[in-house]
């Protein structure tokens, strides 16, 4: 064999090896592209199925969902129409038991998800805050939002009814207590009515106790009256043997008892009137009920002090207390909003981290496939080179 023939055969073998390598490379590339197309088609098919049948539960889907090559689902999605209607009915029936109980019952009814109380609360808040006049809102979302708004109004109405019933019960107990005390001490008051004219009450009673709620003032006045009456009975027993000084002391104590009783009888109707004017304050702040109760008590004190005092203006300390309470309530609302905003931010960060993790996993899988493909091509190239070399050596030996 001449040198020219040998070079020609080597070129043929090299060209054959290149063609084989190119065919293998293109076959692997076509396989990878076909796999990506299948994943994308399955993902699009699932999205179309969810859009055409939104009422179906996600529990009916396969246990292992196919890998989505394009697009990533956001956290919090997956509430079907039936699950949302069940949530609204559950909130309507059992909202007083708390969101944790609602989440537990909801997970028992819909075992496809593990919902939490805060997630259900956010879902309910998103529904009843939705705008019905928005043109981008679909018919189903508008119907669910309208139902959520009705449930919200029922919850607020029940809360007002419960608070008003509590106020009425407290007023009834105060009236019964004052009526019983009046029946118990009526003979003692009638005994000393002719000794002193009690046409006016002294405003110092309110000035010394303006820092306490009105209910505590009434209870303290009742306690003082009981103590004064007990002392009066003891003095009445030894009155026949006492001196004129003791009689004067006894008369002054009786006069103080009458004044205290008169002030109690006048402050009770004023408190009831202030409570009657306070009915519109029931729903001022649902997030901080303690601050709302304190504001209502201070408002009653302001109205009572304005009716009783001579100048008709509350003192500066009371106004400062009211302003401090208003600032406290506003601060509590700001803290709650900041906490909710921080929670949403953390959820967004967690969702982005999950998306990045999914992208990274997908890229690692693709890189691993490419690496295996390169190894396969290198192995095939090596094998073809060995086969070509062995054939050339065999032909040389034959020559």
- What would the two tokens of residue 33 be? 């592209």
Which of 68-72, 202-206, 260-264, 319-323 is most confident?
319-323
| Closest C-alpha to 94, from 34, 184, 167, 154 | 154
Give the Cβ contact number of residue 262 at 10 Å: 17
Query: Distances from the Cα of 24 to the Cαs of 260, 319, 375, in angstroms?
Result: 107, 88, 12
Q: Which residue has the higher pLDDT, 214 or 298?
A: 298
**How far does CA 264 lie from the centroid of its chain?**
43
pLDDT at 323: 79
Provide the whole-model pTM.
Answer: 0.26
Instruction: Write down the domain spans for the chain.
Output: 3-70+344-398
pLDDT at 341: 92
Query: Distances from the Cα of 373 to the Cαs of 19, 32, 39, in angstroms?
Result: 17, 10, 20
Burial label, 51 (beta-carbon count in 10 A; 0-12, 13-18, 19+): exposed
The whole-angstrom separation of Cα 168 and Cα 292 is 17
Q: How confident is the model at residue 79 (pLDDT cuts 50, 70, 90)?
A: confident
Q: How confident is the model at residue 50 (pLDDT cuts 50, 70, 90)?
A: low
What would the mean pLDDT of 177-195 be, rounded to a whole number?
48
- What would the two tokens of residue 283 be? 């729903």
Q: How confident is the model at residue 157 (pLDDT cuts 50, 70, 90)?
A: confident
The whole-angstrom separation of Cα 182 and Cα 200 is 20
* Structure confidence by residue, pLDDT tens digits, 202-230: 434 334 444 444 455 555 656 666 666 66
Is there a contact between 112 and 80 (Cβ–Cβ < 8 Å)?
Answer: no
The whole-angstrom separation of Cα 313 and Cα 315 is 7
* Structure confidence by residue, pLDDT tens digits, 229-281: 666 666 556 555 545 555 565 566 666 655 655 655 555 555 555 455 445 44
């Amino acid at each position: 064999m001449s040198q020219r023939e040998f070079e020609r055969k080597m070129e043929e073998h090299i060209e054959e090896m290149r063609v084989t390598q190119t065919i293998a490379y293109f076959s692997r590339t076509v396989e990878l592209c076909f796999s990506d197309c299948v994943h994308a088609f399955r993902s699009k098919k699932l999205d179309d199925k969810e859009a055409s049948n939104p009422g179906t539960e996600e529990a009916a889907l396969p246990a292992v969902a196919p890998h989505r090559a394009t697009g990533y689902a956001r956290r919090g999605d997956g509430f079907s129409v039936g699950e949302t209607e069940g949530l609204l009915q559950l909130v309507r029936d059992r909202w007083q038991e708390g969101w944790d109980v609602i989440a537990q019952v909801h997970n028992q009814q819909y075992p496809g998800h593990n919902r939490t109380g805060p997630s259900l609360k956010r879902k309910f808040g998103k529904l009843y805050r939705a705008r019905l006049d928005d043109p981008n809102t679909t018919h189903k979302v508008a119907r669910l939002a309208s139902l959520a708004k009705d449930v919200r109004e029922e919850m607020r109405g029940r809360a007002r009814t419960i608070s008003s019933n509590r106020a009425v019960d407290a007023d009834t107990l105060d009236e019964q207590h004052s009526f019983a005390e009046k029946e118990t001490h009526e003979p003692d008051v009638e005994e000393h009515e002719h000794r002193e004219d009690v046409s006016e009450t002294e405003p110092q009673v309110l000035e010394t106790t303006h820092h306490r709620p009105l209910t505590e003032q009434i209870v303290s006045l009742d306690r003082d009256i009981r103590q004064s009456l007990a002392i009066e009975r003891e003095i009445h027993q030894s009155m026949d043997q006492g001196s004129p000084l003791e009689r004067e002391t006894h008369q002054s104590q009786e006069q103080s008892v009458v004044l205290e009783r008169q002030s109690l009888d006048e402050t009770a109707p004023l408190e009831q009137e202030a409570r009657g004017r306070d009915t519109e304050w029931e729903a001022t702040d649902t997030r901080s009920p303690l601050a709302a109760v304190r504001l209502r008590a201070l408002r009653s004190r302001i109205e009572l002090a304005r009716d009783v005092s001579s100048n008709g203006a509350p003192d500066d300390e009371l106004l400062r207390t009211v302003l401090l309470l208003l600032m406290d309530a506003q601060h509590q609302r700001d803290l709650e909003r900041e906490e909710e905003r921080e929670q949403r931010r953390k959820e967004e960060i967690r969702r982005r981290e999950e998306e990045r993790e999914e992208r990274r996993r997908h890229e690692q899988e693709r890189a691993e496939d490419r690496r295996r493909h390169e190894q396969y091509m290198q192995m095939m190239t090596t094998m073809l080179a060995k086969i070509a070399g062995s054939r050339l050596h065999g032909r040389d030996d034959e020559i």
